[in-house]
Amino acid sequence: MEKEDFCIPNRKEHVVISLTVLVFLVITALPISQLYASSANPGVYPINSSPFGKPYDEWIANWWNYNVQIDAEKHPRDNFSPELCNLDQSQEDAVLYLPDNLSGEEIRSCTLPAEKAILAPQITGSCWAEPNLLECAREGNEFGVVSATIDGVELQNLEQYRVTSDVFNMTVPENNAFESPSGTFPAIADGYFVFLEPLPAGEHTLVLEQSVINPVRPEYNFASETTYLLTVEP
């Protein structure tokens, strides 16, 4: 009788194969949106990340709290100037909040320190003191289309960067730009943002294009293009 060959596989090879299978299983288990957002755009925080130790959706809530508290007469959304780019924001803050643009084309200049990340809204909404916060926050962002470039490089899969926050406390002052009663209310925020990691010192150009063409709720329709000329100081 012929002796059958019997081979014990190399242990290192077996470990490598097992690890490869494990990594594959973990990756395929992730939501497609997380995979796109994690890998498509180097230098852009993915939506499943925690920049500076804080979950992405909490930064969206913080942006809205900042946005709501600015006095109506000097809100940079409607009256932008280079001096207002850092309005009521500390140089020591980790993130610079840029204002949104609700209509037309606009070029905005802004200076910031090299170590500061940038949170730029494209299409976003928030609701507070409403019976259905989630539906209210999201409905104006449906049928949204977004695109962006940084220094001429187009960012990919931005439709995957839509984020909805958990419920948070919104503090609304008097004379706010939203003509809302003042007070502290439960709120939810939703929308598309570009969240850039700190840029190297020098001149940079961020272009944001966004629109909503809602066939059911045309009152939410808008289109805008914002070009940010960013000067990052060392």
Give the residue among 100, 166, 95, 103 at the shortest CA–CA distance from 137. Answer: 166
**Contact of 86 with 74, CB cutoff 8 Å:** no
Task: Please give the pLDDT value at position 39.
Answer: 60
Could you report the per-residue pLDDT of 70-88, keeping only the tens digit for each? 999 999 999 899 999 988 8
In what helix (H) or strand (E) does residue 28 lie, and over which residues does it extend? helix 11-29
Could you report the per-residue pLDDT of 164-215, keeping only the tens digit for each? 999 999 999 999 999 999 999 999 999 999 999 999 999 999 999 999 999 9
**Confidence grade of residue 18 (pLDDT, cut at 50, 70, 90):** very low
